Amino acid sequence: MGDWLQWTDRALRGAIPVTVTVMLVFAASLPWRLPAFVEVTPAFAVMAVFYWTIYRPERFPFAATFGIGVLQDLLSGTPLGMTALVLLIVQGVVASQRTFFRGKPFLVIWWGFSLVMPAVGLLSWIISSACFGALVPPLPIVVQVLLTMLLFPVFVLLFRPLGVLAAARPE
Amino acid sequence: MRVGRGRNLVLAVPGRVFAQRFGYAMLACAAITLMILSQAEPRVVETIRVGVVDTVAPIFAFFSQPAATISSGFDELDGIMSVHERNEQLAHDNAQLRKWQAGAEQLGHENDMFRRMLKVVPDQRARFVTARVIADSGGPFIHMVLVNAGQSHGVRKGQAVVNHDGLVGRVLEAGDHTARILLLTDLNSRIPVVLEESRDRTILRGDNSPHPHLAFLATDARVKPGDRIVTSGEGGMFPPALDVGIVSAVDKDRATVQPFVVWERLDFVTILDYVVPGVFPETRRAERAGSLE
């Protein structure tokens, strides 16, 4: 009985990072009607994948990233597979630099994110332009990249306690 | 015990790293395959997309209402602050509108009379469905919204979508209970329109910005800021004379349009089921009979 409870507790805690990210993907698709949102929604999923790959990689498998990317593509109508590929690339790059990021002050993490985000914007722009067969106007993408970079600290404040919860184990 | 576990871990790591890298490569390939597939087999991908969206639509429908309530709360607060001012403005507008109403009624009668005199073929009155916007992708790549009406309500791909302000866009995909609307500001949106005053026909082309522009405008077209744009009805998908927007700026090779629709307030839309009189009535009827079964 105790074992079973412990197992459930661990499974539920372990599912927090992926669940939160899926909820963010849904939240981003809701009709919020905030003037800033009409034009661009910040790239929530990129923030989440970046954060969890550094701090809770064992709770964020590649398959989850793929699934989240496909879900976002299906919901928002972007070319199917685009977000999945972009998120996987982010995860791959960040995973290779994990030892560098671990234990560094937040400013370093933010700086790292600010390097990743423009690359994400550029890659998405190339892929979407290729899929639509027309150059996608770059300005809204630039706005999205900047907005996402600016909002990153706010989301880290949200992710941090959840990350602690995801790691805690009853001893 | 502990030592044993540690040794197992050491032995397991290279295998796990390999498995992880292999899995990663497979998933990346899968993503690329999906992109190629969606280009090569758009119909298959559309079916999958519509199925998934139909399945998760209740989640959106459940949460979209609170989201709308939150945003309308802000509007309300704003309204309370300026209630006196608004009241005066409305009284003034009302007086103005009464004059217009009288004028419009008179013109309507006159128009009816002329139509009878000229034996004009009447436009078929469009049937319609009104639906709530339950999701708004709002990304920089696409401008689409999801509504809670689909094929079971008679919504079909290609139908025109309007709200009380004017034209919103067209139906891109229709599932059983949901439909995806391509807004007229989207990069892939092309709508046949006509300049109301000069009767120049052209195409309104979206570019993912809030201001679509007029493409293929004839060099001698007379277009100036403030001109009204309405649908031309060409192609038979859209009814003619739906309000679209006004020309906001004209420079030497481009005329931009300010749509009448206020995107921040897009909560309900009306989907028009328009059939050009006399064109394929039999197939349409058969299709509808099939959908009722």
Could you tell me the pLDDT band of residue A20, with boundaries at 50, 70 and 90? very high
Q: What is the pLDDT of residue B277?
A: 56
Q: Which two tokens stand for residue B151?
A: 């094929």
Average pLDDT of the residues in A123-144: 90
Which of A26, A63, A81 is facing B34, going by the closest CB pair? A81
Amino acid letter, residue B70: I
**Per-residue model confidence (pLDDT) at position B68:** 67
Interface touch A26/B59, C-beta < 8 Å: yes
Q: Which of A3, A37, A64 is nearest to B70 (CA)?
A: A37
Convert the pLDDT of each residue in B35-49 to its tens digit: 999 888 888 888 888
Q: What percent of chain A has pLDDT over 90?
A: 61
Contact A143, A36 (CB under 8 A): no
Answer whether B61 touches A (CB < 8 Å).
no
- Weakest mean pLDDT among A70-79, A155-164, B63-72, B134-143: B63-72
Mutate to test the interface with A, among B21, B43, B45, B141 (most CBs of A within 10 A): B141
Judge whether residue A21 has pLDDT over 60.
yes
Q: What are phi and psi of B175, to 5 degrees?
A: -95, -165
Q: Whole-model pTM?
A: 0.78
Residue of B48, B53, B208 with shortest CB distance to A137: B208
Whether pLDDT at A67 is above 90:
yes
Measured in degrees and rounded to the nearest 5, phi and psi for residue A5 equal -60, -45
Is the predicted pLDDT of residue A38 greater than 80, yes or no?
A: no
A-chain CB neighbours of B38 within 8 Å are: 79-81, 131
Q: Which of A23-37, A42-56, B5-19, B48-62 is predicted with the least confidence, judged by mean pLDDT? A: B5-19
pLDDT of residue B207: 86
Residue A157 has pLDDT above 80, yes or no: yes
Interface list for B 239-278 with A (CB within 8 A):
263-267
pLDDT of residue A90: 96
Q: Which residues of chain B are modeled with pLDDT < 70?
A: 1-13, 68, 71-72, 75, 121-126, 138, 275-293
Q: Write the residue in B49, B56, B207 that is nearest to A137 by C-beta.
A: B207
Q: Which of A24, A20, A21 minimizes the C-alpha distance to A41?
A: A24
The residue of chain B with its CA nearest to that of A35 is: B264
For B258-281, letters b (16+ CB in 10 Å) and e give bbbbebbebbebbbbbbebeeeee
Average pLDDT over residues A10-28: 90
Closest residue to B137, CB basis, from A77, A79, A82: A77
Q: Give the residue from chain B lying closest to A65, CA to CA.
A: B27
Q: A148 CB near a chain B CB, below 8 Å?
A: no
ipTM: 0.87
Touching check for A79 and chain B: CB below 8 Å? yes
What are the pLDDT digits (tens) for B219-244?
Answer: 777 888 999 999 998 877 788 888 99
Give the mean pLDDT of A116-134.
93
Question: CA–CA separation, A65 vs B159, rounded Å?
Answer: 36
Residue B125: what pLDDT?
Answer: 60
Nearest residue on chain B to A26, alpha-carbon basis:
B60
- Secondary structure (H, E, C), B70-98: HHHHHHHHHHHHCHHHHHHHHHHHHHHHH
